[in-house]
């Protein structure tokens, strides 16, 4: 599938001219981020049919990756400088941050609401059929039963 953004759109957001290797990295980042956007959002097959915000999120994450691919953080105090990477196993790959993932998930329409069967304390579901009384005192009628013998 096509990426949500083009390499030209990425170049327009960067303040330097990309060489051949950087163009290759940028194109790969756009492709990877578009795949992740489809995973966390909806599988929009046509990039033009996706919301504008998806393109904005993909480009923002790609720009962040191009400016700092290893995710280094630098701290200075006086004449001392300390640099470290906070990304862990995500270092060196294009990725979305938590806020971007939240936005993509919200656009997907997916929810975390689900149904879970429960029973009261120390009660167990009955495996046998249950029967209800019949008017006139005849043979009881099955209300529900096990899957092997529906009646």
- pLDDT of 85: 66
CA–CA separation, 4 and 30 (whole Å): 7
3-state secondary structure of 90: helix
- What are the boundaries of each domain within the chain? 7-108
Confidence of residue 150 (pLDDT cuts 50, 70, 90): low
102-136: b (≥16 Cβ within 10 Å) or e: ebbeebbeeeeeeeeeeeeeeeeeeeeeeeeeeee
Render pLDDT for 28-78 as a digit per residue (tens, 0 to 9).
999 999 998 999 888 888 888 888 999 999 999 999 989 887 777 777 888
Evaluate if residue 151 carries a pLDDT over 60.
no
Render pLDDT for 76-132 as a digit per residue (tens, 0 to 9).
888 877 776 666 656 667 889 889 999 998 888 776 777 777 777 777 666 566 778
- Tell me the pTM: 0.65
**33 has which bridge partners?**
none
> 7 versus 89: which is more confidently predicted?
7
Render pLDDT for 12-28 as a digit per residue (tens, 0 to 9).
999 989 999 999 999 99
- pLDDT of 33: 93
- pLDDT of 59: 94
- pLDDT of 61: 93
């Amino acid at each position: 599938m096509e990426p949500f953004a083009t390499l030209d759109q990425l170049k327009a957001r960067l303040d330097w001219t990309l060489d051949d290797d950087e163009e290759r990295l940028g194109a790969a980042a756009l492709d990877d981020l578009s795949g992740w956007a489809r995973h966390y959002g909806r599988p929009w097959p046509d990039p033009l049919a996706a919301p504008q915000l998806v393109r904005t999120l993909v480009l923002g994450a790609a720009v962040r990756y191009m400016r700092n691919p290893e995710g280094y953080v630098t701290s200075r105090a006086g004449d001392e400088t300390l640099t470290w990477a906070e990304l862990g196993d995500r270092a060196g790959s294009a990725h979305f941050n938590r806020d971007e993932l939240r936005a993509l998930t919200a656009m997907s329409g997916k929810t975390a609401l689900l149904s879970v069967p429960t029973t009261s304390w120390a009660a167990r579901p009955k495996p046998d059929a249950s029967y209800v009384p019949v008017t006139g005192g005849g043979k009881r009628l099955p209300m529900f039963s096990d899957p092997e013998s529906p009646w």
